[in-house]
Amino acid sequence: MIMVLTRNTLIYLHLCASVLCVPQVSWLPCQFTDEHVFEDDNNHVRTELIHRQAMLQFGRKGDAPVNPNAVTFLVTGSRLDLWRYVEGVEAEQLECQLQRYSTQGIYVRWPVQEPQDYNRWFSCTLKHTKGLFTVTGFLRHPSDQPPPGQQDYLRWPAIEDREILTTTVALVIKTQSPSVRAGLGSQQKLHCQFAVDHKGPNVSVEWHWQQRGERTTLFSHSSRSGSTQGTGVVLRGLTGGDASYKLPFTKMKSQGTYICSVSVIPLFASVDISLHVEEPPRVSLNVGPILSLQDGGEQKVVCKAESYYPLDVEIVWHKQDPSVSGQRVGAPLPTVLDNILLSSHKHNQDETYTLSAFFYLQASLSNSGIQFTCSVSHQSLRVPIKKSFILTVEESSSWMFTLTVGVTMVTLVGVLLVLLSHLHSAKQRSVQKKPY
């Protein structure tokens, strides 16, 4: 029995090594955005988008479609395994989009052994539903029909509703950081990797930064000419498909869209990475952890949130009896203070913001021992920042008692001065009566 099990395992491993193993997820429903491009009566090019039901199916040439009523893009084995770039992800976590790809009339024979000389191209984009990555693969569908010329999108062959398009993956580009949140002064690595289905391709890699309609080239490299402009990408990594860009010091003006593009003629692939600067606030109170006041006294209490970005911040004051806050059951909820005043936003020199929330605390014996807490929420924080103090109130002295003591002291001092004056006068008279 053990020998039979071992033999079957070896046979399975041999098959996986010699042919493309079936991935854990062998198909995926996709939205195929077809295009009908035409010229209107004024010779203007118009595009009509047609959303069609499609399936991305992995297998071998000749496999039956999973959904015979949909357009099937059957991805067969090649040097590139598209599923390797979404490894460990469930099908429900993926968004799949398919569309035609125009080479703009550029014809270059793709360096693979095929009986057909020409190709029809499609792009397949897989996005994680939680924004963890974006992968775009270019699907090559061999064809014996030559491209129609520069305006190939005007004469695209029609695709029937139940048609099966047998394809292979020719180029893949991926980023694991489609959206990056960075603090001021931090170092960021913007991930970008690519792969081509044949050795020694002529690859051009570029990085651009775009903000408010302006586009700036950060880096470019051509493997054909060997020329390189700009910095931020490790050239040794390009040979292995790593085109990641390193941002050494994040500034406020670093915000924007970073575009990693890879060109292998006639294909042009790119991924967008959005960089958002987020700086958490520094929170402080103008009082210590214990605030002592006399009954009836007043104190301005200020909670300040400093040097945060972006603008929106929420500051809430509330109070609670700390002696009952630790109860598991029946503990009253903190009471939100409604007499809070806000300062105007201060725009700092580094383009961050500062805001204060304050109130005037009227001390009373009933509030002695109460904990006051300032809670600051901001999109850069996973949980709010909280700063607290405990109020202690001392009973004030009676004003009548204070007045009585004061009058008594003044009277006693006056009597003492009169007595001293009489004593001094009597002493002087006694001295004058002596004959010697």
Report the CATH number that the domain containing residue 231 is assigned in CATH: 2.60.40.10
Return the minimum-mean-pLDDT range out of 141-145, 199-203, 426-430. Answer: 426-430
SS3 content of the chain, % helix, strand, coil (to 5): 20, 45, 40
Which of the four pLDDT bands, split at 50, 70 and 90, describes residue 24?
low
SS3 423: helix
pTM over 0.85: no
**Is the pLDDT higher at 322 or at 9?**
322
Segment 320-341 shows an average pLDDT of 79
Query: In the predicted model, is pLDDT for residue 30 greater than 60?
Result: yes
Last residue of a domain, one of 277, 303, 323: 277
Same domain membership, residue 166 and residue 188: no
Same domain membership, residue 195 and residue 132: no
Q: What is the pLDDT of residues 48-94, one digit of tens each?
A: 899 999 999 999 999 999 999 999 999 998 889 998 898 888 889 99
Same domain membership, residue 160 and residue 17: yes
Same domain membership, residue 287 and residue 273: no
Segment 6-34 shows an average pLDDT of 57
Domain encompassing residue 254: 176-277
Query: In the predicted model, is pLDDT for residue 7 greater than 60?
Result: no
Same domain membership, residue 46 and residue 117: yes
How far from 341 is each of 274, 305, 316, 337, CA to CA, in Å?
36, 14, 11, 10
Number of structural domains found in the chain: 3
Last residue of a domain, one of 125, 142, 170: 170
Please give the pLDDT value at position 328.
Answer: 59
Same domain membership, residue 291 and residue 229: no
How buried is residue 195: exposed, middle or buried, by Cβ count under 10 Å (0-12/13-18/19+)?
buried
Assess if residue 426 is contained within a domain: no
Percent of the chain residues past pLDDT 70, beyond the cut: 87
Same domain membership, residue 296 and residue 382: yes
| Count of CB atoms situated within 10 Å of the CB of 293 | 19
Strand partners, 99: 33, 123
Please give the pLDDT value at position 360.
Answer: 95
Q: What is the pLDDT of residues 88-125, one digit of tens each?
A: 888 899 999 999 999 888 888 898 777 777 899 999 99
**Is the pLDDT higher at 54 or at 8?**
54
Query: In the predicted model, is pLDDT for residue 431 greater than 80?
Result: no
Same domain membership, residue 383 and residue 348: yes
Please give the pLDDT value at position 57.
Answer: 95
Q: What is the pLDDT of residues 261-270, one digit of tens each?
A: 999 999 999 9
Same domain membership, residue 39 and residue 130: yes
